[in-house]
Amino acid sequence: MSDTQTFLDTLKARSSNYTAEPTWIAARRQAGTARFEALGFPTRRDEEWKYTDVRSIAQGNFAIADNAEFSPATAAALTLPIDAYRLTFVDGVFSSALSDLDSLPSSVQVLPLSKALAENHEAVGGPLGRLTGVDFSPFAALNTAFMEEGAVVRIAPGTVVEKPILLQFLSRAGQPMMCHPRVLVEAGGRSEATLIEHYTGESEATNFTNVVGELMLDRGAILAHYKLQEAPLGDLHVASIHVEQGRDTRYTSYNLSLGGALVRNDLISDLNGQGAETNFLGLFFGQGRQHVDNHTKVNHNAPLTFSNENYKGILDDRAHGVFNGKVYVKRDSQKIEGFQSNQNLLLSDRAHIDAKPELEIYADDVKCSHGTTTGQLDEEAIYALRTRGIDEATARGLLTLAFAGEVLDKVTLDAIAERVELAVAGKLPERFNLAGLVEAAVSLND
């Protein structure tokens, strides 16, 4: 039996759940199924998947969860300590018990996709799938074939959302499950919001998450988008995020990837209106045999648009990292500034990084640059710290944290920054406590 067939059979078994759905959803589900069937899973012969082998997904047999039971105590421990409007999904199934939308203003809608469809499915039909169609990748097609649940966020024009909107995705241990959530965000003109996607779960879990996100920013909207990926180390995680930016919008992505056995992120931003600005910040940390693949693309489709990208990778043990960043400037999109930087730190001899920073430019009045470096910790810097009485392990830890710091310093939500810092520090080869590090850092300043 082919790998594709296992998934198609699961889909068939699921079809009784889809009998009552509106015709437009049925049509898209069919299109997704047909496309997935035609494409099959990508192989390393596909340029887009040259460095990432998805056989662990293709050869898996994942069930679809039908309940959202989760221990409240475990959930509480996993939940980010941030005062936020919160939607929680357990293996893709919405959990109202673990969600909290208290005091959500009427100008903001945060609701599970199933509810949004039940209330007014036509309002969802327009934007859903507009940015990420079934042709984007086999995984987008697969997601469309299986789509059932997800989050819909609508922000009315002019609204400043005071608290972050937190979408929490929990992964359970036990039988391998898969989920195909959709995230749909419509940020109205001049609105301001912070969106957090948080992936986490029970450490023994071995599930497959295949999320598709579509974010639309209307004129003047500002959106900060955190994707904190702390999935269990056995989880397989594929995310396709597509952002559409109108005039004078500002989008900032914080892509923080710590967990997962196999992680693939596709992040695309279309700068369609003058004055639009996009910022991609990324930090990925790999250890053991983790595989982390980040593909980003900025499309400068309009003149006077700006992009800034900074991705940092730290790889230990036999981890494999991939960075593929592309800056595209459309013909006649003049007065563009596009900057891209990717730096990678290899902590072990068997760690591996494949980097490909690309520029594709069809206009002349542009300032575009990219830089990428790969290396190890600077022995002279370690020596300098040691001459100040800091032991080698601490020195290495400090320098690794400093390396991550360039991205983490820009993280404005302290709870997230601290969490990532702790994770990086805690996973460093020479284990030490962060408190000791902080003390050491303070004593350096004295």
- For position 372 contacting another protein by CB under 8 A, the verdict is yes
426 binds another protein (CB under 8 A): no
How many CB atoms neighbour CB 30 within 10 A?
Answer: 13
By CB under 8 A, is residue 407 in contact with another protein?
no
At its nearest, how many Å lie between another protein and the CB of residue 294? 14
DSSP H or E run through 121: helix 113-125
Total number of residues that touch another protein (CB under 8 A): 37
Cα 15 to chain centroid distance, Å, stands at 29
The H-or-E segment that residue 423 falls in is helix 414-427
Tell the smallest beta-carbon distance from residue 339 to another protein (Å): 10
Phi, psi of 391 (to 5 degrees): -70, 165
* CA separation for the pair 165, 149 (Å, rounded): 17
CB of 327 to another protein, least distance (A): 9
Q: Are 230 and 24 in contact (CB under 8 A)?
A: no
Question: Which helix (H) or strand (E) segment is 77 a member of?
Answer: helix 72-78
CB nearer to another protein: give 380 or 446.
Answer: 380
Q: Which residues of 47-126 form beta strands (DSSP E)? A: 63-64, 85-90, 93-100, 108-112
Q: Give me the torsion for CA of 91, 143, 233, 53, rounded to 10°.
A: 160
Q: Which residues contact 283 (CB under 8 A, 6 or more apart)?
A: 255, 256, 257, 311, 312, 313, 314, 404, 407, 408, 420
Interaction with another protein in 294-353: which residues (CB under 8 A)? 331-332, 334, 344, 346-353
In 24-128 the beta strands, taken as DSSP E runs, fall at: 63-64, 85-90, 93-100, 108-112
Q: Which is nearer to another protein, 249 or 278 (CB)?
A: 278
Quote the tokens at residue 210: 């295949």
Q: Find the shortest distance in angstroms from Cβ 115 to another protein.
A: 45
Name 6's bridge partners: none
Q: To the nearest whole angstrom, how small is the minimum distance from the Cβ of residue 354 to another protein?
A: 5
Q: Which residue has the tokens 């595989």?
A: 291
Q: Are strands 93-100 and 85-90 parallel, antiparallel or unpaired?
A: antiparallel
CB of 333 vs another protein, minimal distance in Å: 10
Burial classification of residue 349, based on how many CB atoms lie within 10 Å of its CB (0-12 exposed, 13-18 middle, 19 or more buried): exposed
Give bridge partners of residue 263 from the DSSP assignment: 237, 292
Of 163-171, 217-225, 249-257, 355-363: span binding another protein (CB under 8 A): 355-363
Q: Judged by CB, which is closer to another protein: 246, or 303?
A: 303
Please state whether beta strands 150-155 and 182-187 pair in parallel, antiparallel, or not at all (unpaired): parallel
Nearer to another protein, 347 or 408 (CB): 347
**Which CB, 50 or 163, lies closer to another protein?**
50
Min separation Cβ 150 and another protein, Å: 34
Specify the residue, 332 or 414, whose C-beta has the smaller distance to another protein. Answer: 332
367 belongs to the binding site for another protein (CB under 8 A) = yes
Q: Which is nearer to another protein, 239 or 355 (CB)?
A: 355
The interface with another protein within residues 16-75 (CB under 8 A) comprises 47, 51
Residue 37, CA distances (Å) to 7, 34, 191, 261 in order: 10, 5, 40, 25
Q: Which of 48, 360, 392, 414 binds another protein (CB under 8 A)?
A: 360
Q: How far is the CB of 293 from another protein (least distance, A)?
A: 13
Shorter beta-carbon distance to another protein: residue 130 or 362 = 362
Nearer residue to another protein within complex by CB, 102 or 364: 364
CB of 276 to another protein, least distance (A): 20
Task: Report the residue number, 14 or 50, with the smaller CB distance to another protein.
Answer: 50
Which of 170, 355, 385, 417 lies at the binding interface for another protein (CB under 8 A)? Answer: 355
Task: Tell me which stretch binds another protein (CB under 8 A): 155-163, 243-251, 252-260, 354-362.
Answer: 354-362
- Regarding 428 and contact with another protein (CB under 8 A), the answer is no
Q: Spell out the alpha helix ranges (H) of 199-321.
A: none
> Which positions lie near another protein, rule CB under 8 A?
47, 51, 331-332, 334, 344, 346-376
